[in-house]
Structure 1
């Protein structure tokens, strides 16, 4: 790097931390932190307490990758359920209906990358015709 390019490189690089200034709430009492917000890419850290979920939806343009840091992520789709544990990722391509839930006993913490941005790209969907939840996956667990 030369002296002439140093200001350009410095202006393109930034450090972001999950904190009060980039905190938002979503779903049923879930929290998130906006780590990067650009037209072509979003990066967020999100926290879901046990028993929480978002609403079923899809994105027309955005693809998403959920990377689990803590807990277990349940991803419902019309054809069934996927679960991801720490150090596992789930890719959801554009146009795929999905529904993220925390059916586990502890907090779920994950990083969510979306490309392009999901701003204005969310369509709520109905779950009629989706594969039924397996019995051990039901929300009415009495051991929580």
Structure 2
């Protein structure tokens, strides 16, 4: 079945950020996300899910295991289970990216203080 941002299940997260479920299965999740300027996700890790973040547009900052990585459009990064990470938009422009989780990360997130 054909899917697009317009037809996908939409949700709001964090500080007015958007997510669209492109694939929502128990063993695989693919989400298109949008973060407005100067927003961030909470620092967390997943017990089981491996995630791949791929920036579609804009410049994202990812903190992974206390290392900062800047991701420009058309760049991505792999995050293994149990590795603390945090996606941030430190720019004046919105960013859009895709998050692929295997297995699905729902209920698998542990917040890091």
TM-score bin, normalised by smaller chain: over 0.9
Q: Pick the structure with greater CA Rg.
A: 1
Q: Output the TM-score relative to the length of structure 2.
A: 0.94
Which residue number corresponds to residue 33 of structure 2? 46
Q: Tell me, in whole angstroms, the C-alpha distance in 2 between the residues paired with 1:88 and 1:121.
A: 25
What pairs up with 1:82-121 in 2 under 5 angstroms?
82-121=69-108
Q: Tell me, in whole angstroms, the C-alpha distance in 1 between the residues paired with 2:8 and 2:92.
A: 29
Q: Tell me, in whole angstroms, the C-alpha distance in 1 between the residues paired with 2:76 and 2:53.
A: 5
Q: Output the TM-score relative to the length of structure 1.
A: 0.75
Q: Tell me, in whole angstroms, the C-alpha distance in 1 between the residues paired with 2:98 and 2:11.
A: 14
Equivalenced residue count is 113
Which residue number corresponds to residue 6 of structure 1? none
- What's the CA shift for 1:20? 6.4
Asked which structure has the greater RCO (Cα within 8 Å, sep 6+), the reply is 2
**Higher helix content, 1 or 2:** 1
**Higher strand content, 1 or 2:** 2
Which residue number corresponds to residue 75 of structure 1? 62
Runs of 4 or more, structure 1, over 3 Å off, are none
Structure 2: runs of 5+ lacking an equivalent: none
Structure 1: runs of 5+ lacking an equivalent: 1-13, 127-144
**Structural RMSD (CA):** 1.2
